[in-house]
Structures are given as structure tokens and as C-alpha cells.
Amino acid sequence: MEIKIAGIEIKAPTLRVLIRLGITAAFVILIVALVLRPRTAPEPQEQWKRIIPGVTTQEEVKSLLGEPDKTETINGVLVLYYTSTSPYFTDEIFIGSDNKVEFIRERIIGRSDISLQTYLNNLGNYIRLYGPDSESSGIFLYVSPERGAAYLGNPINDLTEQIWYFQPNSIENLLQKTYFAEYSLTEILKPADGVE
């Protein structure tokens, strides 16, 4: 069999070779494209003292940090209190119903390395949430849902008061959590204070 393309006669064997070459080239290009395609690595989840929310169990916490200074059950959630690096507070670890760490609140007031801006620079993308002290005292919560971390602080003073660790989730789901109950994407109006 012969076919004519633009006045050039191509015999059947040659045509088959050309088709095979074309298929092979397309396959190679596909493989290369798949291998070299840019992939977005998931944001690394923040962890605290090797404790990873959603992964670390209560027993593992105790093996890492020892027995807590105090335990308490708040609204059915077990809270472990540990001596903080801040001299004025204790850190809190919330244990979920699956016996895994659900939430960590680290209080860092009094530490020297508490520049909010530095933290936020490292955090990358974040969402600013309003809280009960936003209006009167300028305290906001800066949340990275992907990283599972949030910073509570005053951008004017550049002071960070707390660092939160939690299992990465969407902001909508996070706002349903108990520990986010006082925070909102929009301004929260408390009852006016200073009542006479």
C-alpha cells in the first residue's frame, strides 16, 4: 500500500515505522510530563514538643512530657495542664474522644521571643479572626488552617500571647470547634463594658 502526502509517495512499511515512532514519542512525552509535573507539597503540620494534634495519644503525651500538673474535664473534654515556658501560665493540652490530642494552647507571655510579626512571617498565609479582646485591646487570632497553628497577639505591640496547635482543617470547620467559639471572621461585639 502506498499513500501520497503533498506529492510524496510513502510506502506502507515506512508509514508503520512513522506511526510507531509517533506513538512512542507521545508516550515518552507523557511519561516525562508526569514525572516532571509540578507538585504542591502539603503544608507541614505544626507540632509542639513532638506532639502532633490528631496523631499523638494521651499516653504518648505523658511519656513525652511526664504527668501533667493538673487535669480537668471541661465540657466533656479532658485537659492536661503542664508548666509553661511562660512564668505566668500553664500550657493546656485538650484530649479528644479518640484519646488523641485535639488542641494545644501554649501561653508565651513573658518570653523574649514573642514577636508576633516574626511568627506570622514564618506562618506564611493566615486568616485574622476577631476575638473578645480585639475591639478594646487589639488582640487578634491569626490562623493557618493548613498548618494547624494560630497566634494570638497584638500587632501594634508586636506581642504574642498564645500559640495554638490543632489538626489542620478548613477554617469553616475550625470555627465550629469549642476552642474557636469566641472567635469569628467578623467583628465580635461584646456587651459594652464599664457599666456604671
Partner 1 sequence: MGLMRLLISLLKKSPLARVLPHPSSLRFLLLLGILLAGGFFFLGSSAYAQLFKPVEDLREEDFCPGDPRGGPSARSELGTESGALREEGECSGVLGSLSCFFNDFLWGELVGPGGDATFLNSALPEYLREANELLLLPNLEISGASFIDKQGLPGGISGSLARLSPPIGGFDNRNDLRTLWRSEAVLSDGLIILNQGDEQTGFSTSGNTDTIGGSGKGSYDSADGDYDVPGRFGEVSPLADRFGLLKEAFFPPSDEAVSISGADCRVYSNEGKVVYYPNAVDVQFLEEPENIFETIWSAAWKIEEFDESKADEETGEVSAQGPTAGNLDTESDVARTRQAWERIGAPPREGDPQSGGVYNILLMPGQEFATKEAELALRYSYDAVKGGGSSGDAQLFLADLGNVEGAVDCIKNGITANPWEANETSCTNAFLGIPPSGGIGGEVEGCFVFSDGAGVQSPDGQVVPWSTDPEAQARVMAAIPVVLRSPNYTHLVCKDGPINLYRVRVASYNGGRARSSERAIFINGTGTGVYTLAHETGHIVDYWNGLFTDFMAEVGPPNRESFIETYPFTKTEHEDFAETAAVYIARNVLPNYAAKYPRHYNFARSRLFGGVEY
Chain-centre distance for alpha carbon 74: 24
Q: How far apart are CA 24 and CA 21, in angstroms?
A: 5
Q: Find the binder of partner 1 among 137, 173, 176, 178 (CB under 8 A).
A: 137
184: contact with partner 1 by CB under 8 A:
no
| Residues in 2-61 that interact with partner 1 by CB under 8 A | none
Q: Find the binder of partner 1 among 121, 156, 172, 186 (CB under 8 A).
A: 156
Host H or E run for residue 83: strand 77-83
Output the smallest distance, CB 155 to partner 1, in A.
9
Give the residues across from 2 on adjacent strands. 11
In the complex with partner 1, which residue's Cβ is closer, 45 or 84? 84
132: contact with partner 1 by CB under 8 A:
yes
In the complex with partner 1, which residue's Cβ is closer, 47 or 154? 154
Output the smallest distance, CB 183 to partner 1, in A.
13
Judge whether 10 and 2 are in contact, CB under 8 Å. yes
Q: Find the binder of partner 1 among 29, 138, 178, 185 (CB under 8 A).
A: 138
Q: How far apart are CA 138 and CA 4, in angstroms?
A: 79
Chain-centre distance for alpha carbon 109: 22
φ/ψ (deg, to 5) at 93: -120, 120
Give the residues across from 24 on adjacent strands. none
189: contact with partner 1 by CB under 8 A:
yes
CA distances from 165 to 50, 71, 151 (A): 12, 19, 9
| Residues in 103-122 that interact with partner 1 by CB under 8 A | 109-110
In the complex with partner 1, which residue's Cβ is closer, 84 or 167? 84
Binders of partner 1: how many residues, by CB under 8 A? Answer: 27
- Please report, as ranges, the residues that interact with partner 1 according to CB under 8 A: 87-90, 109-110, 132-133, 135-139, 154, 156-157, 159, 161, 187, 189-196
